[in-house]
Structure 1
């Protein structure tokens, strides 16, 4: 444990873990003091990850069916007591995109999910898979909250929820990642539990009562962003997107004592096009 009963949980899309390690991820991991690290877009086999991880880490990994794509993992200082990878209907290929694990922390059970939502592409089968995934999350989140008072869904959710979450939001309203229909799912995820929520696209559905830890912590400000395009001067100009989240049950959200996005000091110091989101939970 980080200190006393504070649990430090980090989430990072590594954009290929072997490349990330070549550029300095290992040093970050050993120096950051995290107890649990949720990793997305691993793009490697389990034995590849085992060779990279320093002693003292427990590994859970769910690879994608397509080699070299997606892949989610959980690194933890304590072993999980159980884990699951299934999400939603059979026609949804969630392999390499959803990994739930239960941890015992000071006698309490905590569920942590590492998830990598499809990036999608308007009017293509990729977007159809994204709709299926978001729908499956809408089914799973209430079940998870009913099963566990302390639960966290973290990872690259590939949607900027609000205008504050994307620097150039006006130019992206018709693109995957900021479509009103996508954002409406998040309106419901974070809406008051049981209340009817009208989404930004005009659809109405029940709020699920989960908490966007990053937005609650930062307040009504632009960003702070967690992903920048590799093209142009996006990183240098901080023209980013906040698409990496900690989505917590209310009881877990109440324990947050620290929130940080580990933005690299310079473009050439990055080991991923995403930055890690690191949160301290005082359990």
Structure 2
């Protein structure tokens, strides 16, 4: 079973840059998408081919939006908002599904309607698949230096929001993993986590020690959600000693050409599923002028 995660940075832009060709050529069975950035009615017809779409678009137009594409309709769907948008292959219209209240960990309520998490139970295999878009965050107040930042100083507000999210999401993730196990399913969390976990996940890690996405407290949080008995970083398991493979490069300068990237897109799987992975890597675009997004798809083949 081929499973991919891809932050498309806007599905309409990604379509213009070749998303449909990639989807047809690679033929994944399941795709987790982040930053779809479109109201359901504005998603280009046919862009998802013969896949069933499950989508949480969020409440802010043009921002966020997470989806899962599957060959068969999911057995069950869960979102933090309690609603999801569903579209069958060949359909022009997207149906809204009321899912009922899903228990949320303390602190997640403020993020529930932002289009950051959708979870489906696959019909093809006993796997629960989740697509996640974690807030980018910012720097804590003491590291903010006016004139040396691309964004205006905010007193640490974006940093504080991300840390609140991480704390709440860790509790929710434990709940999701245990619930999947109780249902006889493995859990696969995929998506853009906006954190590079180790030095091997950032090309210029020395310069990045005080950059959002590589702060010590963010990396410590990442440590806390991984273990041989809970969740395993599937790509790192297959590339234990490699730098990368990176999944994000800035649009600026020669970052992509020189492979000055970050690995911030992940497959995090429960141990049995992680052991079933036979190949794992990144579909890096062949040239800078042929990039579909500032991210690249992360693709894993599971013999499960």
- SS of structure 2 residue aligned to 1:215: helix
Is 1:210 the equivalent of 2:231?
A: yes
If each structure's strand is expressed as a fraction of its own residues, which one has the higher value?
Answer: 1
> How much has 1:92 moved relative to structure 2?
3.1
Q: Which residue of 2 aligns with 1:119?
A: 136
Q: Is the 8 A contact 1:258 1:280 kept in 2?
A: yes
Q: Which residue of 1 aligns with 2:57?
A: 63
Q: Which residue of 1 aligns with 2:215?
A: 179
> How much has 1:94 moved relative to structure 2?
5.4
Runs of 5+ unmatched residues, structure 1? 1-6, 194-208
> How much has 1:192 moved relative to structure 2?
4.7
> Which residues of 2 match residues 1-283 of structure 1 at below 5 A?
7-49=1-43, 51-86=45-80, 87-88=104-105, 89-93=108-112, 95-105=114-124, 108-123=125-140, 124-149=156-181, 150-193=186-229, 209-283=230-304
- Partners of 2:113 and 2:269 in 1: CA distance: 21
Provide the TM-score with structure 1 as the length reference. Answer: 0.88
**What stretches of structure 1 move > 6 A for 4+ residues in a row?**
none
Q: Is the 8 A contact 1:17 1:43 kept in 2?
A: yes
Runs of 5+ unmatched residues, structure 2? 81-103, 141-155
- Partners of 1:136 and 1:103 in 2: CA distance: 26
C-alpha RMSD of matched pairs (Å): 1.5
Alpha-carbon spacing, 1:174–1:31, altered in 2? closer, same or farther (3 Å): same
> How much has 1:191 moved relative to structure 2?
3.0
Q: Which residue of 2 aligns with 1:201?
A: none
Provide the TM-score with structure 2 as the length reference. Answer: 0.82
How far does the alpha carbon of each residue in 1:165-200 deviate from its partner, in whole angstroms, 9 at most, with x for none?
00011111111100000000111111354xxxxxxx
> How much has 1:77 moved relative to structure 2?
0.7
- SS of structure 1 residue aligned to 2:129: strand
Aligned residue pairs total: 260
- SS of structure 2 residue aligned to 1:227: coil
Q: Is the 8 A contact 1:158 1:243 kept in 2?
A: yes
